[in-house]
């Protein structure tokens, strides 16, 4: 059998699968970020030549898409619950934790949702959330809007959480970081920023997951009015 790209035989290349290449790419993305994902780094990690990798993936863009899809596909397992509200919370928390574990996902998800929504990632996310929305009894005319609102909140809030974690100095302490932000907010001009000063103390030591799920509950409360 020959490759449609090169016309060369597959013999000797079966051991290096696309799945293995994508797995190595995810490891590089987790440790070195998008800039660290190069075909040279991949060849070193996989102990192979670049030609063997190009046999399975055409370029870095295709590899990033495949890595994103692999992580999302592994993350979005069907929730085991009869209550669709709990199902939405489960999907939301799964995505939250995946983005927390793989910060590079934030950029890749935003790129795929805006530039290539026909690729597999966007339908996976919409399907996981939308099935629960439908089970909630939301009118069909509001399925898209409701699912979109949830997806945008989940990905936006999870991405912001990952960015906040990255803002902490390497080896730094999250509580110390939040303390410094709180102190800065409390020193703002009271006439210009009365509300921000008032909530500053709530920022100190807050639980990111609890705050994230509270946002989901606010949206669910709004969804209930549609029924």
Q: What is the pLDDT along the chain (227 residues), one digit of tens a residue?
A: 444 444 444 444 447 899 999 999 999 999 999 999 999 999 999 999 888 898 999 999 999 999 999 999 999 988 888 899 999 999 999 999 999 999 999 999 998 888 888 889 999 999 999 999 999 999 999 999 999 999 999 999 999 888 877 655 555 577 888 899 999 999 999 999 999 999 999 988 788 999 999 999 999 999 999 87
Same domain, 197 and 154: yes
Residue 6 included in any domain: no
Domain end call among 57, 86, 105: 57
Residue 64 included in any domain: no
Same domain, 129 and 175: yes
* CA atoms in the 13 A half-sphere facing the CB of 54: 11
Same domain, 187 and 144: yes
Number of domains in the chain: 2
Long-range contact set of residues 126-130: C-beta below 8 Å, sequence gap at least 24: 126/151, 128/76, 128/78, 128/91, 129/88, 129/91, 129/154
Residue 10 included in any domain: no
The pTM of this model reads 0.84
Give the domain extent around 25: 18-57
Same domain, 45 and 125: no
Residue 41 included in any domain: yes
Residue 12 included in any domain: no
CA 119 to chain centre: 15
């Amino acid at each position: 059998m020959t490759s449609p790209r090169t016309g060369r035989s597959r013999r000797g290349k079966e051991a290096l699968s696309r799945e293995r290449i994508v797995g190595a790419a995810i490891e590089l993305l987790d440790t070195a970020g998008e800039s660290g994902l190069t075909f040279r780094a991949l060849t070193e990690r996989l102990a192979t030549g670049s030609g063997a990798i190009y046999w399975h993936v055409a370029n870095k863009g295709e590899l990033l898409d495949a890595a994103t899809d692999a992580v999302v596909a592994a993350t979005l397992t069907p929730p085991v619950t009869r209550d669709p509200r709990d199902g939405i919370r489960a999907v939301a928390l799964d995505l939250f934790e995946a983005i927390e574990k793989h910060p590079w996902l934030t950029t890749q998800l935003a790129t795929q949702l805006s530039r290539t929504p026909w690729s597999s990632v966007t339908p996976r996310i919409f399907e996981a959330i939308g099935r629960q929305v439908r089970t909630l009894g939301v009118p069909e005319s509001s399925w898209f809007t409701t699912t979109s609102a949830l997806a945008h909140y989940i990905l936006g809030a999870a991405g912001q959480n990952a960015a906040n974690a990255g803002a902490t100095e390497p080896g730094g302490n999250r509580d110390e970081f939040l303390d410094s932000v709180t102190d800065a907010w409390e020193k703002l001009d009271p006439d210009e920023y009365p509300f921000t000063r008032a909530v500053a103390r709530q920022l100190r030591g807050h639980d990111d997951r609890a705050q994230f799920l509270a946002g989901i509950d606010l949206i669910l409360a709004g969804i209930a009015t549609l029924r």
